[in-house]
Structure 1
Amino acid sequence: MTKRRSASSEKSTAGPPADKVAVAIVGAGPSGMTMAIALARHGFSVALVAPALPAHDDRTTALLDSSVEMLRALGLWADVEPHTAPLRHMRLIDATGRLLRAPEVVFDASELKLDAFGHNIRNSELNSALAAACGQEASLLRIEDRLAHVETGTDGATLVLESGRQVEARLVIGADGRMSAVRTAAGIAAKSWRYPQSALVLNLEHEVSHHNHSNEFHTPTGPFTLVPLTGRRSSLVCVEQPDEAERLFAMDDETLSLELERRAASILGRMRIAGKRQVYPLGGMTAETVAANRCALVGEAAHAFPPIGAQGLNLGLRDVAALAELLVAARSKGEDIGSDAVLARYERARRPDIASRTTAVDLLNRSLMSDLLPVQALRSVGLYAASRVPPLRRLLMREGIAPMMARPRLMRGLSLS
């Protein structure tokens, strides 16, 4: 008997024969496209379902070293790297103005024998490179349509799209963001929360070279972070109280540029706003499981949290690498790739990493906002130790890139075959 869980009350309608694939992926952001490419290059037939991406997205993503290794393993890095700026140094500056302040800490990638901790890139350039790679995969069917609902059963799942087109698959992967329709269709509950903060996000041009330094000022309202882009440009994430973020957003370009230069202590000289600015409220979300009912979740369909420490997309790409590795292994054993057993292995593989990252980002964010002296003291002592104890500093740097125990083969540059 077929079990049905839908993201909509619409019913299936008669029409042309359904497209049949091994895996259907809903969502064509970086996690969804990378998932599609990884599976297609390992012999799976794949359908990638999502509307066309916007032509311009001025937001940026810092791809940490583990994610870079994954893109190298998939043969994608050569097309992505020219659009990136390396992050060779990470500087943490306590700008809280509080009684107990942490010392300035600078992390250097060379301490880990790395050229860079990662590389920063505009989302539009990353998406463009991934979309071009998707177009080159013969076993990857790109469908520019929206999901209407999903029907799951014991032998497979059927996606019904808004156009009426249908896709049948052994497994459905939700890469469709924090409001995931796939998560809803799978009957997976999610816990969400809000912070009393909003993030102002934009790109800047500046007169002084960033020298591949990422500068993160810790303020009482959250991080004020400048991350290198190509040339004399940087991306900014300014976390503020919601009213203050809206006030900054409403400023004209010249006034805002001067205010941001002041907050950055003029370390990059005169600044100029480059491109559009955005403000969005900060919050977090975790799904109670990353897999159920022939559906698996990756990226922000499974977890979401504030843009702190470049953890968001990098955590999502570890989802992609782990799931790809499990599916390749399951196929080699003749298993049903959408079975409960395979999905349970994916949940076990990802839960510790997701839980630890979510907790760490939440604690760091709340520690910046806390007026409690014990919390401030603990944070200051931790950063002091990181600045003075080389083994601890190297451990923090390695774990910041990706937990060693959570790195699938693709993130170590190894083949899955």
Structure 2
Amino acid sequence: MTSGNPQTLDVAIAGAGPTGITLALALKAELGPSLRVTVFDPALGRTTARDARASMIAADGRALLERIGAWPDDAAPVAGLRITDSGLDAAIRPIFLELGEARPDGEPFAHMVSDAELRARLAERARAEAVGLVAQPIESHAREPGRVRLRLADGGEATARLLVAADGAGSPLRARERIPTYAFAYDQTALVATLGHEAPHGGVAVQHFLPGGPFAMLPLAGNVCSLVWSERRSEAERIAQADDETFLREAERRAGPDFGRLSLAGRRGAFPLRFVLARRFVGSRFALVGDAGHVVHPLAGQGFNLALRDVKALARIVAEAARAGEDIGSDAVLGGYESARRFEVASVAAATDALYRLFAAPGARGLRDVGMGLVDRAPALKRRIVTAASGL
């Protein structure tokens, strides 16, 4: 790709994470091999360690990943969710809310998927579908009539009718577009790991709301769980720096007796938690998807599901425009994407933040436990929650 002969694209995507590659494949699935789509990311040229994280993917996200041929074979169904709210060393942790009902069609409302396995499957499909993959960052972009001109770090150039930022929470492209955000840091860090355990999990996800933050054990295949442990920043730093044995004993203290002895089955990681919500999701021939547009607290497991719904909406709207002979990067087309996503994203972001603050407030425990108890005794409401969580 040289400045003298820039590549001509329909869609350029910045960011080769799961969101960016899924979008490229979804566009290919909608519009066929003639669609010219390329993903730009310097990370494509690097060897990275296996990610310690896993994602809980709702039913609509599963349908999207199956359609593009990227559903991992080892995805583990989530048969239910148990929520407790107690002190750290409480002898008994009563279950205040339990969701264990499948959707009306009998399918589980979610699956757990290893991020490493998902990335590998997406990379395999991207190669098979001839998605362009360029290991260079987009250094700058400028509008020209009917297109965006991209300049790469190596001096290469490309043009595209639509530029999409899937380049993460600190999106350089969003910053260049001068799209403001509402953003702040939580006083929490997420500790993540893949853990083996003695007792079977039965496919049930468990989330303990503890004084330091939510502690979730999310079922993977076999006697293995993905740990997502949100802890106060100072305490999280201490635990993150501890040796493996200390880490496991601290995790066992929070997990309680149900899982038995814990062991590490993969890498550990730690990620500071923050809230980010872009004030708008589109610009001139420009759109945000995934973390580039919104980052929410992980306590409800909605981050990647929101990203997949961004992908689904943008791919559908772009495909409809292309089939109708419209300009896929026009303000009218991208305004449809903004309208399709703005309300749900803002609603989920606000609700997730409100849940975090409710469970972080020491004096609100009685109120929240009464509320969870009322929901637990209302089967119709629980079915509606499961349906909503599935995204269908």
TM range (shorter): over 0.9
Q: Does 1:318 align with 2:292?
A: no
The CA distance in 2 between the partners of 1:102 and 1:291, in whole Å, is 46
Spell out the pairing of 1:353-364 with structure 2 (5 A cutoff).
353-364=344-355
Q: Does 1:57 align with 2:51?
A: yes
- Residue 208 of structure 2 aligns with which residue? 217
Question: Which segment is superposed worse, 262-271 or 378-387?
Answer: 378-387
The CA distance in 1 between the partners of 2:338 and 2:4, in whole Å, is 35
Residues 267 and 283 of structure 1: CA distance in aligned 2, closer, same or farther (over 3 Å): same
Q: Does 1:39 align with 2:33?
A: no
Q: Does 1:388 align with 2:377?
A: yes
Q: For the Cα contact (< 8 Å) 2:103–2:386, is it kept in 1?
A: no
Q: Does 1:105 align with 2:84?
A: no
Q: Does 1:135 align with 2:140?
A: no
The CA distance in 2 between the partners of 1:102 and 1:186, in whole Å, is 49
Q: For the Cα contact (< 8 Å) 1:331–1:337, is it kept in 2?
A: yes
1:84-138 deviation digits (Å, cap 9, x = unpaired) = 2111111111124799x98522211436443322211221110000000000113
- Calculate the aligned-residue CA RMSD, in Å: 2.0
- Residue 125 of structure 1 aligns with which residue? 117
1:337-359 deviation digits (Å, cap 9, x = unpaired) = 11111111111110111011101
The CA distance in 1 between the partners of 2:87 and 2:278, in whole Å, is 33
- Residue 21 of structure 1 aligns with which residue? 9
The CA distance in 1 between the partners of 2:145 and 2:294, in whole Å, is 27
Spell out the pairing of 1:9-408 with structure 2 (5 A cutoff).
15-41=3-29, 42-43=31-32, 44-51=35-42, 52=44, 54-77=48-71, 80=72, 82-96=73-87, 103-110=95-102, 112-138=104-130, 140-373=131-364, 376-402=365-391, 404=392
AA aligned to 1:37 is L
Percent identical among aligned pairs is: 35
Residues 111 and 181 of structure 1: CA distance in aligned 2, closer, same or farther (over 3 Å): closer
Residues 112 and 244 of structure 1: CA distance in aligned 2, closer, same or farther (over 3 Å): farther
**Deviation at residue 331 of structure 1 after TM alignment:** 1.2
- Residue 407 of structure 1 aligns with which residue? none
Residues 133 and 111 of structure 1: CA distance in aligned 2, closer, same or farther (over 3 Å): closer
AA aligned to 1:390 is P
Q: For the Cα contact (< 8 Å) 2:102–2:386, is it kept in 1?
A: no
AA aligned to 1:343 is L
Q: Secondary structure at the match of 2:341?
A: helix
The CA distance in 1 between the partners of 2:6 and 2:101, in whole Å, is 50
**Deviation at residue 153 of structure 1 after TM alignment:** 3.3
Q: Secondary structure at the match of 1:331?
A: helix
- Residue 8 of structure 1 aligns with which residue? none
**Deviation at residue 69 of structure 1 after TM alignment:** 1.1
Q: Secondary structure at the match of 1:56?
A: coil
Residues 45 and 252 of structure 1: CA distance in aligned 2, closer, same or farther (over 3 Å): same
Residues 32 and 111 of structure 1: CA distance in aligned 2, closer, same or farther (over 3 Å): closer
Moved over 6 A (4+): none
Residues 265 and 48 of structure 1: CA distance in aligned 2, closer, same or farther (over 3 Å): same
1:26-79 deviation digits (Å, cap 9, x = unpaired) = 1011110010001122232101111216252121111111100111222333xx
Q: For the Cα contact (< 8 Å) 1:186–1:293, is it kept in 2?
A: no
Q: Secondary structure at the match of 2:4?
A: coil
The CA distance in 2 between the partners of 1:203 and 1:134, in whole Å, is 27
AA aligned to 1:125 is E
Q: For the Cα contact (< 8 Å) 1:58–1:276, is it kept in 2?
A: yes
1:150-185 deviation digits (Å, cap 9, x = unpaired) = 112341101111111111000001100011122123
The CA distance in 2 between the partners of 1:55 and 1:170, in whole Å, is 34
Residues 90 and 180 of structure 1: CA distance in aligned 2, closer, same or farther (over 3 Å): same
Q: Secondary structure at the match of 2:298?
A: coil
Q: Secondary structure at the match of 1:363?
A: helix
Residues 102 and 265 of structure 1: CA distance in aligned 2, closer, same or farther (over 3 Å): closer
Residues 23 and 286 of structure 1: CA distance in aligned 2, closer, same or farther (over 3 Å): same
Runs of 5+ unmatched residues, structure 2: none
